[in-house]
Amino acid sequence: MTITGSLANALSGLTAASRAAELVSSNVANSMTPGYGRREISLAARHIGDGTPAGVNVTGVRREVDMGIVQDRCLADAAVGHDSALAGFHRDLEAILGTPDSAGSLSGHLARFEASLIEATSRPDSQARLAAVLQSAQDVVGKLNRASDAVQDIRMKADAAIGTQVRQINDGLGRVENLNYEIKEALARGQDASPLLDQRQQAIDSISAIVPMKQVNRGHGMIALFSTGGAILLDGRAATVGFSPAGVIVPEMTRAGGALSGLTVNGFAVGTGPGRSPLGGGTLGAAFELRDRLAPEAQTRLDAVARDLVARFQDPGVDPSRAPGAAGLFTDSGAAFSSVDEVALSARIEVNARADPGRGGALWRLRDGLGAAVPGTAGNSALLRDLTDALGNERVPASGGFLGVARSANGLTADFLSLVSAARLHAEGAQSFSVAQQDSLTEAELNAGVDTDHEMQKLMLIEQAYAANARVITTVDAMLDALMSL
């Protein structure tokens, strides 16, 4: 080998070692960067025209990523987002109703109302005890009103979240589309597209929790994105997802009734129900479940509890002083309840104004009858006993999807809370499973990523190779000096 050939070999080796050291430093610096793919240098022997080795060529940079693990982790992100949203709703609903051991719970208010009736029965002449009956009755309806408002607030937040997530999807798909073409162009020029590939994966990760999706290689560095429900999100051009936020939601507003917006993909309506939505399975699908199924179901049961309470005291056998068809102690916005107008009853229920001194009524009507014109005997406790019995009598709920078993008012409330608690436990179990799966896949992805110990070992080998090539150059320089001195 000639001196010139030796010098060329050493110089190419220095170039390759320098590039390899640069990649090691990049790997170590980005070991904790989400979406970063480990870089590995690609080398090939260089030959001159007669096949004689003439050093080494850097043929490119490989981005080492296990896409199988990455895609499974993205699906796990969507599952965690979906299950966490549902578990959060059930926890919130349980807190809205309150557990029996909490003073502000619905069952606690009903228990205090029943206790106040019993106490007033023993002293029907006591204004203080009649006032306690009124106050506890108002506490019950106030709790139902607040619970209904809270459920509708959940629906409004879910509707707003849908609008936000749709914008995020459209923005994310647009970024992936642009990066697809930039990657294709970089590869066509022979440039390293690894930074662009990292950016594209980060863009996909930013929307993977919203809609579960799969990546399909389309060649030349480009990919297509399909939701697990079968929607084409990106194949050449990004799809456009459409949604119109409602802003204000009341119990009467439903998706089926056309008052609330659904989803469109490129202008075509798609389903949003659980189990059949092309865009379901992530946080977007969970938001639709909250807005259109779970929260309305909770509202229906609240209305059923309110109906049961109103019907107990509106029964013709309770308080004969009332005119036929007149409202009882609990009313529908001051009027008698009609079974055809049950929707949002929990938001409208209130105590009859005829028993409320603050609205022109009188406390003695709790003892003598809502239809009484003048006070009766102060010691007469018959009506108060009837009111107590009406609250404790076991009745089959007329609505709400409860089991057809007779219950007292407190029993119905307890069953409602039991259903909510059971749903919470089930949702939290699903959430725990999806979080554990996400953690294991994230760990597997990290294990397949940058190993700093391995990178340091590579750096030592690179250093040795660099020193050896530098030694060759030093030796060639000494030989040339010797030849020149001759």
Tell me the chain's radius of gyration from C-alpha atoms.
36
Measured between alpha carbons, how far apart are the two ends of the chain, in Å? 21
DSSP 247-259: S---TT--TTTTS
Confidence of residue 89 (pLDDT cuts 50, 70, 90): very high
User: Which residue(s) pair with 58 in the sheet?
Assistant: 43
| Per-residue DSSP letter, 335 | B
DSSP 55-123: EEEEEEEEEE--HHHHHHHHHHHHHHHHHHHHHHHHHHHHHHH--TTSTTSHHHHHHHHHHHHHHHHH-
Cα separation, 355 vs 441, in Å, equals 63
Amino acid letter, residue 460: M
- Which three-class secondary structure string do you get for 286-325? HHHHHHHHHHHHHHHHHHHHHHHHHHHHHCCCCCCCCCCC
Q: What is the mean pLDDT of the chain?
A: 91
b vs e for 58-96, b when ≥16 Cβ sit within 10 Å of the residue's Cβ? bebbebebeeebbbbbbbbbbbbbbbbbbbbbbebbbeb
3-state secondary structure of 132: helix
**Predicted local distance difference test score (pLDDT) of residue 49:** 61
Q: What is the pLDDT of residues 450-472, one digit of tens each?
A: 878 887 888 898 888 888 888 88
| Per-residue DSSP letter, 357 | G
Q: What is the pLDDT of residues 393-403, one digit of tens each?
A: 999 998 888 88
Alpha helices in 190-219 (DSSP H): 194-208
Q: What is the pLDDT of residues 386-445, one digit of tens each?
A: 999 999 999 999 888 888 889 999 999 999 999 999 999 999 999 999 999 999 998 888
311 is written with which tokens? 């019907």
| Per-residue DSSP letter, 262 | -
**Predicted local distance difference test score (pLDDT) of residue 186:** 92
Q: What are phi and psi of 45, to 5 degrees?
A: -65, 140
Q: Answer for the pair 283, 81: CB distance below 8 angstroms, yes or no.
A: yes
For residue 51, pLDDT beyond 70: no
Listed in sequence order, the residues at least 6 apart from 199 whose beta carbon sits closer than 8 Å to its beta carbon are 35, 175, 179
Q: Answer for the pair 335, 320: CB distance below 8 angstroms, yes or no.
A: no
Global pTM value: 0.87
Q: What percent of the chain has pLDDT over 70?
A: 99
Listed in sequence order, the residues at least 6 apart from 140 whose beta carbon sits closer than 8 Å to its beta carbon are 106, 109, 110, 113, 309
Q: What percent of the chain has pLDDT over 90?
A: 65
DSSP 13-57: HHHHHHHHHHHHHHHHHTTT-TT--EEEEEEEEEE-TTS-EEEEE
Phi-psi region of 356 (alpha: psi -120 to 50; beta: other; left: phi over 0): beta
Q: Answer for the pair 399, 303: CB distance below 8 angstroms, yes or no.
A: yes
Q: Answer for the pair 151, 96: CB distance below 8 angstroms, yes or no.
A: yes
**Predicted local distance difference test score (pLDDT) of residue 347:** 95
For residue 334, pLDDT beyond 70: yes
